[in-house]
Structure 1
Amino acid sequence: MRSPAPWHSPVQPAPGFDAARVRALFPALAEADEVYLDSASTTQKPLPVIEAVEGYHRRHTANAGRGTYRWATVLEREIESIRARTADFLGARPDEIVFTPGATAGLNAVALAWGLAELDDGDEILYSPRDHAANVYPWVQLRTTLARFGRHIRLVPYRVTALGEADIDDLAARVTPRTRLITVSHLHHVFGALTTLEELRDRVDPRVLWCFDCSQSGGHLPIDVRALGADFAVLSAHKMFGTTGTGVLYCARRVHDRLTAFLPGGNSAVRVADSMLQPAEMPRRLEGGTPNIPGILALGAALEVLTDMGLPRVAEHNRVLTRRLIDGLRPVPGLRFLPGPAHAPCENGYGIVSFTLDGIGATDLGFVVAELGFLVRTGAHCVPADAGAERVQPVDAGGPNGLADADSVRVSTHVYTTGDDIDRFVRCVATIASEVR
């Protein structure tokens, strides 16, 4: 089945970005001959982020808040300043921002700090088996753990549409009086589709909690957790110019009294009578132990870079590149797009496009284009082969080409990607397609 007709208005460069000046911010790109097209896996690091990490290790290394001397107290104030900056970035309050080792750790924190204490026998979590494993396996593990204590919860899968979005009607049909949490990928890591669940909100009991995996949308487009109606949301710093090992967990105030200290240690709990531990106030309740100080400082620098660039401009830049890539690849014989922006009736997309090519496997194609200087991601992209859910059929429609579960090539962009990068990649794929045919 062929894809819809391409968008017809001419491609224009995104306004306001000087390609040379932007790329000069990222030292790794200045030294590379390859074209980096794997920003959905991790982004390149700008100079302010690198300097934040080096500065911590070169000057005044200390444990934040663990001493009364100036090095420690200055670091503590800086971390709290970054917490407030992160809250502004998301439209939240500082006490709703928890620093974590990453988005995966954040989703597991929701499962442990909320799920273990709150879920009863027969309760349900709605999720997509097509999401990243980090938004599937924590719920599977939670179900396994609770079963050991005699509480049996259900994981209810919902469909994904041909556009790569959560199927709102299917999701609404699966909500029951036992539904306790709906979890969704805000911007899908393979399909590049945006899901807000806005159409569903008035159709669901307000007691149901909403969890958004914003790993791919963070740093790519503006996020307002209140507009999303999120109770939980996670971000991955290394996908938004920061470093690995750092993430953000947003916890709305309405759920604070339902969260336990799942990681007892320094800061997260206080000792009271009879050897009982009383959880500390949020967000410390979920931040036991020494934080990743250089990672948090790097996150602060990354937020400044993104704010200076302007997230609406970043989103527009990636939208233009997405459209340019799709329109360029569409005529290639044997190329088939996975669900996502290529099948949308209007212009959308935020920098992620996945496809397959007849006559050559995704891994081999990835190897060939890498040898020719283009760095892309191939494979299943951390989509679980078996999510371990009760089988509610059909789980999803499989996309317009039945390719939702196929290994694929994923191309992902950011501000340092140029139109020329995209055009050269398209010509490379077209050449390979003609040869394999």
Structure 2
Amino acid sequence: MTAIQEKTLASKVRKDFPILHQEIHGKPLVYLDNAATSQKPVTVLDALQNYYGKDNANVHRGAHSLSIRATEAYEGSRDKIAQFINAASRQEVIFTRNATEAINVVAYSWGLHHLQPGDEIITSVMEHHSNFVPWQMIAKQTGAVIKYVPLTDNEDFDLEEFKSLLSEKTKLVTIVHVSNTLGCINPVEEVIKLAHEKGVKVLIDACQSVPHMAIDVQAMDCDWLVASGHKMCGPSGVGFLYGKQEILEEMPPFLGGGEMINEVFFDSFTCGELPHKFEAGTPAIGEAIALGAAVDYLTDIGMDKIHACEEELTAYLFRKLADIPNLKIYGPLPTPEGKGRAALAAFNIEGIHGSDLSTLLDQEGVAIRSGHHCTQPLHRLFDASGSARVSLYFYNTYDEIDQFVMVLKETIDFFTNIMG
């Protein structure tokens, strides 16, 4: 994809995102916080409005027309997601509130029942807290031990160290596909292959990859994969867990109540079939339907086209950031063509706190992230309390990157002047 193609894609899609067409503090909004949450196209907003305005009813429980329509739309979204990630069956897609809940389902339904004292869980130092904390809780309850894959000198996943950590004691590998801080794209296919050779299960946190590149869970061969709707043009409050059917069949339910049952007696119950076994209670129906609309939207554009566009944006962003002195970007650098990492950059500038940067950038209409990005252990390794982060999506433009860099330089000059 050429720069002209990038501009053409942005010019075609930006009209679909009403939130982008506003002013912040009297300046045009430049939204560059997409790793935290993406914006929503009109089709997704319309799907929510249509459900609540026309079809609002509970799913699976009614014979009247509204319930039938709601159920068809809700289950239709499951089919769309299954096709989007190339799951072997719709039964392998479980709706959850978010990726965090999806990881907890695996932790408590599989981990609590399979891990024993001395068993080992391998994760990495770059993980989001949602892929740290559940496993720490499970390890404490089961006596399992967590081991962490370190970074290479290039600040990405150390595959050789991962190989050395794999042992007969390893029962689970749980790693992020794309780091939300380092931007590195981890070699998950190789990790999965090596783990499976030892009979080890693998969970992939795909929150930062599903929205940005084509994902094929069958080719990847992961045992579980999780993602959040709000990072892929869908609403908040909904995500999904993918799991191989034979593994999900063997796992006990995580939550009990309505919807996940087959029969209930005074002294026992029987579970419903997949996928409902893991979807207790009334789900986020409108949000799940709108997530299906988001999948339609991304599919219509084409994930390969989105990924190519973001590579162009990444290359341009890093060329611009290279001109700023005393700026430390965490993670590996992309190739000159923007390949090899995600379209984001977490960075620090010597002598200036990231929160101060983001606050002053906001005054100019530029929205970036600051903080630890839910990766406190990683920031401690870098001896940093936090960092600023700029993250792009396919609706961002070169002009927005230029505006961000210009305001960033002005902000740095401001701090330099007041500090003498």
What TM-score do the two structures reach when normalised by structure 2? 0.92
Q: Do 1:111 and 1:139's aligned partners in 2 also have CA atoms closer than 8 Å?
A: yes
What residue in structure 1 maps to residue 73 of structure 2? 78
Distance 2:322 2:6 in 1: 25
What residue in structure 2 maps to residue 212 of structure 1? 204
Unaligned runs of 5+ in 1: 1-9, 386-395
Task: Identify which of 271, 275, 278 aligns with 1:279.
Answer: 271
Asked if 1:420 is matched to 2:399, the reply is yes
- 1:15 CA drift (Å): 4.6
- Which secondary structure state, in structure 2, belongs to the residue aligned with residue 266 of structure 1? coil
Q: Do 2:315 and 2:335's aligned partners in 1 also have CA atoms closer than 8 Å?
A: no
Asked if 1:53 is matched to 2:48, the reply is yes
Alignment CA distance shift 1:81-1:301 (3 Å): same
Task: Identify which of 258, 280, 299 aligns with 1:288.
Answer: 280
- Which secondary structure state, in structure 2, belongs to the residue aligned with residue 17 of structure 1? helix
Per-residue CA deviations over 1:82-130 (Å, capped at 9, x if unaligned) read 1111001001020100000001110011101111112222211111232
Distance 2:407 2:35 in 1: 21
Task: Identify which of 64, 86, 91 aligns with 1:95.
Answer: 91
Per-residue CA deviations over 1:393-437 (Å, capped at 9, x if unaligned) read xxx8x89xx737551111111122101100121122223334434
Distance 2:180 2:43 in 1: 26
Asked if 1:199 is matched to 2:190, the reply is yes
Q: Do 1:127 and 1:155's aligned partners in 2 also have CA atoms closer than 8 Å?
A: yes
Per-residue CA deviations over 1:375-402 (Å, capped at 9, x if unaligned) read 00001111134xxxxxxxxxx8x89xx7
Q: Do 2:361 and 2:367's aligned partners in 1 also have CA atoms closer than 8 Å?
A: yes
Per-residue CA deviations over 1:316-337 (Å, capped at 9, x if unaligned) read 1111111111110112111111
Q: What is the 5 A alignment of 1:163-178?
A: 163-178=154-169
Aligned residues: 410
What residue in structure 1 maps to residue 260 of structure 2? 268
Asked if 1:230 is matched to 2:222, the reply is yes
Q: Do 1:161 and 1:339's aligned partners in 2 also have CA atoms closer than 8 Å?
A: no
Per-residue CA deviations over 1:208-258 (Å, capped at 9, x if unaligned) read 111111111122111111222210100100000111100010011231233
Q: Do 1:354 and 1:410's aligned partners in 2 also have CA atoms closer than 8 Å?
A: yes
Q: Do 2:192 and 2:220's aligned partners in 1 also have CA atoms closer than 8 Å?
A: no
Q: Do 1:15 and 1:313's aligned partners in 2 also have CA atoms closer than 8 Å?
A: no
Structure 1, 167-176 or 17-26: larger mean CA deviation: 17-26
Distance 1:428 1:253 in 2: 50
What residue in structure 1 maps to residue 121 of structure 2? 125
Asked if 1:349 is matched to 2:349, the reply is no
Distance 2:376 2:268 in 1: 39
Alignment CA distance shift 1:163-1:271 (3 Å): farther
Distance 1:343 1:357 in 2: 23
Task: Identify which of 10, 19, 27 aligns with 2:18.
Answer: 27
Distance 1:264 1:229 in 2: 29
Distance 1:336 1:364 in 2: 16
Distance 1:64 1:269 in 2: 14
What residue in structure 2 maps to residue 65 of structure 1? 60
Alignment CA distance shift 1:212-1:86 (3 Å): same
Distance 1:65 1:346 in 2: 46
* Coordinate RMSD, CA, aligned: 2.3
Task: Identify which of 318, 321, 331 aligns with 2:310.
Answer: 318
Distance 2:69 2:2 in 1: 48
Q: Do 1:14 and 1:316's aligned partners in 2 also have CA atoms closer than 8 Å?
A: no
What residue in structure 2 maps to residue 3 of structure 1? none
What residue in structure 2 maps to residue 43 of structure 1? 38
Task: Identify which of 410, 420, 424 aligns with 2:389.
Answer: 410
Alignment CA distance shift 1:345-1:13 (3 Å): closer
Asked if 1:111 is matched to 2:102, the reply is no
Per-residue CA deviations over 1:304-352 (Å, capped at 9, x if unaligned) read 1101111111111111111111110112111111113358997333321
- Which secondary structure state, in structure 1, belongs to the residue aligned with residue 95 of structure 2? strand
Whose helix proportion is higher, 1 or 2? 2
Q: Do 2:228 and 2:240's aligned partners in 1 also have CA atoms closer than 8 Å?
A: yes
Alignment CA distance shift 1:343-1:431 (3 Å): farther
Distance 1:367 1:345 in 2: 31
Structure 1, 402-411 or 226-235: larger mean CA deviation: 402-411
What TM-score do the two structures reach when normalised by structure 1? 0.88
Distance 2:319 2:341 in 1: 12
- 1:274 CA drift (Å): 7.8
Identity of aligned residues (%): 30
Distance 2:44 2:145 in 1: 42
Per-residue CA deviations over 1:134-154 (Å, capped at 9, x if unaligned) read 11111111123x2xxxx3111
Alignment CA distance shift 1:274-1:207 (3 Å): farther
- 1:272 CA drift (Å): 6.2
Distance 2:334 2:41 in 1: 30
Q: Do 1:127 and 1:158's aligned partners in 2 also have CA atoms closer than 8 Å?
A: yes
Give structure 1 regions of 4+ aligned residues with deviation exceeding 6 angstroms: 343-346
Q: Do 1:163 and 1:343's aligned partners in 2 also have CA atoms closer than 8 Å?
A: no
Alignment CA distance shift 1:15-1:38 (3 Å): closer
Task: Identify which of 128, 144, 148 aligns with 1:153.
Answer: 144
Q: Do 1:192 and 1:350's aligned partners in 2 also have CA atoms closer than 8 Å?
A: yes
- 1:268 CA drift (Å): 1.5
Q: What is the 5 A alignment of 1:356-395?
A: 356-385=348-377
Distance 1:106 1:202 in 2: 23
Q: What is the 5 A alignment of 1:1-12?
A: 12=3
- 1:198 CA drift (Å): 2.6
